[in-house]
A and B are shown apart, each in its own frame.
Chain A
Amino acid sequence: MREPLIRSTEDRIIAGVCAGLARHLNVSVGIVRVGMVVLALAGGAGALLYIWLWLLVPTAADEAMAAQRAFNPRNIAENFARGFGASGAGRDGTGRDVTARDGSVSRPVGQPLTQPGAAAVQAEVAAPRLLQRGGKEILIGAALVLAGGAVVAQLAGINLPWGTWLPVLAIAAGAVIAWMQLDDSRRSGLMDRAGATGAQGAVRLLAGLVLVVAGIVTMVSGSITWEAMWPTLFASLAVLAGVLLVLAPWVLKYWRDLETERSGRIRETERAEIAAHLHDSVLQTLALIQNRAGSEQDVTRLARAQERELREWLYRDKRQEEGNLVDRVKAVAAEIEDAYGHPVEVVAVGDAAMTDRHEVLVHATREAVQNAAKHAGGGISVYVECTPARSEVFVRDRGPGFELASVPPDRMGVRESLIGRMERHGGEARIRNTGSGTEVHLSLEHPQEGTAS
């Protein structure tokens, strides 16, 4: 299959058109560049072609963005529809919904030229962008060489028509600067309207405009006298203002449409994401529950696991960092709940960053919860409390309870993995029979430096 026509962002001198074209046509970049230059010398055709391609061909980043925004969620939604269709219910409604969405996703101008070659796109995006910097330097170098060549030619006696060339060069430079800006803003601006590039972009646009205007004025001033210049300039400005006035509503409308469409697309994406999540988790579990309706224990276990997963997704405490003590204890509780089918309720106050000693605490907690699940059954309560001074874990069950003294010495579980382990790491483990179940209390003093609480 032929590579998609995409402007290259890494191997570029001006805008990566040649490199993209070369990859698309499967010929060497050098040949394309030479060809382009030759065409450019043939009455500027190459330059025109270049500019045209520049405007119409998207960059890899553009494509990746479009792929990310339009394709991924849609794939998920399609999966969702397919999953629905497989079960035979609501196929039509969902299916049509998805197609309708297809139609409504319109892409930024200039993108439909290519096909989504997702893998190639990803690879290109990942490639280092160092060369881009080099490209700029090459460009400046080329300009300097050209200028030098011109000066040498002048010295050698060849008369260059400076009066014509300088303004043309200025106009070209101005246009390039302004278009580079357009290019950038299309790339980043559509993705997020972060104002970081705002000031710089305005300066660039202004510089480009000044160059172009100055070039045109200089060019025109060759044929008109300065006295006639001002009225002409004024007249042109008046015409420009009139055109702007007429076009402004359209521009505004276009902008507003773009905005609504963008927010609509964001909503669609969110909806698709939620649909996908519900499909992957809840619907699957419900199907499983229907299959296992005979086994009460399986059903309870599935329901608990699904509840936990959904709760985590919906109500996750944003402040709670992943990988911290509470997170780890919750993971341990979930694991044992799944393995033994007894509900494990975790209540946490505060949190602490993990250290090696906290790792020990998590292991001991695991052992305690597992013992409770194995020997006591029923509901198990886990309470984690972290203060700057210490971390504590209480594991409580409602089983028959046991006396540590009555445990045979050869049974190493409790003594070794709970008490011994905690004590070796400067912690403490106490097991007591509350009369209606057993409670294991694990505590770990923190060294003086504070922890998050």
Chain B
Amino acid sequence: MTEPIRVVVVDDHAIFRSGLKADLDERIEVVAEAATVEQAIAAIHEQRPDVVLLDVHLPGGRGGGGAEVVAGCAALLGETKFLALSVSDSAEDVVTVIRAGARGYVTKTVSGAEISDAVQRVAGGDAAFSPRLAGFVLDAFGTAAVANVDDELDKLSARELEVMRLIARGYQYKEVAKELFISIKTVETHVSSVLRKLQLSSRHELTRWAVDRRIL
């Protein structure tokens, strides 16, 4: 039996925190909770959790919400992974927190099992993409842009595009793997690479897309 994943839950609604705690499966142990930006940063520094489940909208701090928490814990990004949880589906919120360093995003309405899976995945160093986040990526990078080299930051490779499309269509990672005849590990590699591009790219279209939505 492996060690449970140590998780800090950051959300300003106590009802939601307790509901989430009850929903997470036994592989996950909630070591601390926080309701504001300051509490979150303090708790994360104290507990050094594996994963932080982070609400995008948080009171306190300078009003930056979840993105501010990630920025405040920048020194820990190597060992602590952030998974954004949001009730808002707006591109602004989601992409801001992803670009701040979060490794994934799930909506609050998904089931406890799905959140547990996403926590596992993020703890393992992979990225957790929801269909909607995949939709944002496709919208931002364009559906036709194909990178010649996989490392090119501003475009997605053909394979990454395929993976993103399938995720946007509602496929889970293992279904994507089966569909494309690749291993789940390969799917995870592609998704992580897309996440890296989303975080680092300064692609002209992405910038414009972000400016349109007042993100950057």
Residue of B nearest to A303 (CB): B109
Q: Are B139 and A383 touching (Cβ within 8 A)?
A: no
- Whether A396 contacts B169 in the complex (CB less than 8 A), given A347-B132, A381-B131, comes out as yes
Alpha-carbon gap, A387 to B170, bound state (A): 20
Alpha-carbon gap, A17 to B69, bound state (A): 64
Which residues of chain B come closer than 8 Å to A348, judged between CB atoms? 135
Q: Are B143 and A347 touching (Cβ within 8 A)?
A: no
A349 part of interface (Cβ distance < 8 Å):
yes
A263 part of interface (Cβ distance < 8 Å):
no
Stretch touching chain B among A68-76, A283-291, A432-440: A432-440
Which residues of chain A come closer than 8 Å to B89, judged between CB atoms? 311, 315
Which residues of chain A come closer than 8 Å to B135, judged between CB atoms? 347-349, 383
- Whether A345 contacts B170 in the complex (CB less than 8 A), given A350-B139, A381-B131, A436-B175, comes out as yes
Q: Are A396 and B178 touching (Cβ within 8 A)?
A: no
Q: Are A383 and B143 touching (Cβ within 8 A)?
A: no
Q: How many A-B residue pairs have CB under 8 A?
A: 58
Q: Are A350 and B143 touching (Cβ within 8 A)?
A: yes
Per DSSP, chain B at the interface is helix
Which residues of chain A come closer than 8 Å to B165, judged between CB atoms? 383, 385
- Whether A349 contacts B179 in the complex (CB less than 8 A), given A311-B89, A381-B170, comes out as no
Which residues of chain B come closer than 8 Å to A50, judged between CB atoms? none
Alpha-carbon gap, A387 to B144, bound state (A): 8
Which residues of chain A come closer than 8 Å to B88, judged between CB atoms? 311, 314-315
Number of interface residues of B (CB under 8 A): 23
Alpha-carbon gap, A448 to B79, bound state (A): 51
The number of chain A residues touching the other chain, given as a range, is: 20 to 34
Alpha-carbon gap, A181 to B131, bound state (A): 59
Alpha-carbon gap, A347 to B131, bound state (A): 7
Q: Are A396 and B170 touching (Cβ within 8 A)?
A: yes
Instruction: Map CB proximity to B onto A314-328 as digits: 1 under 8 Å, 0 otherwise.
Output: 110101000000000
Residue of B nearest to A396 (CB): B170
B90 part of interface (Cβ distance < 8 Å):
yes
A394 part of interface (Cβ distance < 8 Å):
yes
Which residues of chain A come closer than 8 Å to B143, judged between CB atoms? 349-350, 385, 387
Instruction: Looking at the assembled complex, report how far the CB atom of B82 sits from the nearest CB atom of chain A, in whole angstroms.
Output: 22
Instruction: Map CB proximity to A onto B32-65 as digits: 1 under 8 Å, 0 otherwise.
Output: 0000000000000000000000000000000000
Residues of chain A whose beta carbon lies under 8 Å from any beta carbon of chain B: 307, 311, 314-315, 317, 319, 343, 345, 347-350, 379, 381, 383, 385, 387, 394, 396, 434-436, 439
When A and B form their complex, which 4 residue pairs have the shortest distance between CB atoms, in order from nearest?
A381-B170, A347-B135, A315-B90, A383-B169
Q: Supply 26 A–B pairs (Cβ within 8 Å), ascending by A.
A: A311-B89, A314-B90, A315-B88, A315-B90, A319-B212, A343-B109, A345-B131, A345-B132, A345-B170, A347-B132, A347-B169, A347-B170, A349-B135, A349-B139, A349-B168, A379-B170, A381-B131, A383-B131, A394-B169, A394-B170, A396-B169, A396-B171, A434-B175, A435-B175, A435-B178, A436-B175
